[in-house]
Amino acid sequence: MRILLVEDEIKMASFIARGLKEEDYVVDVANDGEKALFQAEINPYDLIILDVMLPIKDGITVCRELRSRKISIPILMLTSKDRVRDKVLGLNSGADDYLAKPFAFEELLARISALLRRDKIDKTGIIKIADLEMDQLKHTVTRAGKDIQLTSKEFALLEYLMLNATHVVTRTMISEHVWHEDFDSFTNVIDVYMNFLRNKIDKGHKKQLIHTIHGKGYVLRK
């Protein structure tokens, strides 16, 4: 997988690039917005990690121009800004995900993996994990051929787990992608909904698909 990292802070760019290369990604680095646009047009990238605060052209402008040029490469926006309106601005400009600095490198890797998998999901909207099947367009779920009735929140939670199948997702990641900004991190809502899902997805089946990784989060796997 080839990644374009757009970051003007030399130390930060070096740290991220080194870590990604250790994970066997091929990484190109651009230090300003103009170079980012040029490289994105001439090279076949699988993902772009785009900082917002850039010289010449900022990340928001770069993102908008990429989308206006019909370049649909997944974009992970990286910035020190963590206000709701900054996240909304970034996502509305065409970014696929948003990660605020400072961040744990492990979470950056998880978000990269999620975006790369999401980009390769069958365009029919069908996701299959073992005998569990979700139709994203029809909003239906079956396991072993039997219909499973889910609430909208349960569906969103299961969809996020399936899009990130085999990878651990943290409570923070779940709260940001399923509950968004109004989520109270001090409640046990996520645990409650995970139990709801387990009862509907795993109960009565020999093979359990939803697993708790103590101290880290949850994972859906065969």
Percent of the chain as helix, strand, coil, to the nearest 5 = 40, 20, 35
- Asked if 139 and 179 count as a contact pair (C-beta separation under 8 A), the reply is no
Look-up of token digits 């969103």: 156
The DSSP symbol for 215 reads: T
pLDDT value of residue 14: 94
- For the chain, the structural domain boundaries read 2-119, 126-220
pLDDT value of residue 31: 95
Question: What is 2-119's CATH number, 2.30.180.10, 2.120.10.80, 3.40.50.2300, 3.40.50.300?
Answer: 3.40.50.2300
Per-residue pLDDT tens, the chain, 222 aa: give them. Answer: 789 999 999 999 999 999 999 988 889 999 999 999 999 999 888 899 999 989 999 999 999 999 999 888 999 998 876 666 777 777 888 999 988 888 889 999 988 988 887 766 555 678 889 999 998 878 899 999 999 999 988 998 999 899 888 888 888 888 877 875 456 666 888 999 999 999 999 999 999 999 999 988 999 998
Whole-number Å distance between alpha carbons of 36 and 187: 41
Nearest partner of 173 among 90, 115, 95, 126, judged by Cα? 115
pLDDT value of residue 125: 74
Fold topology of 126-220: Arc Repressor Mutant, subunit A (1.10.10)
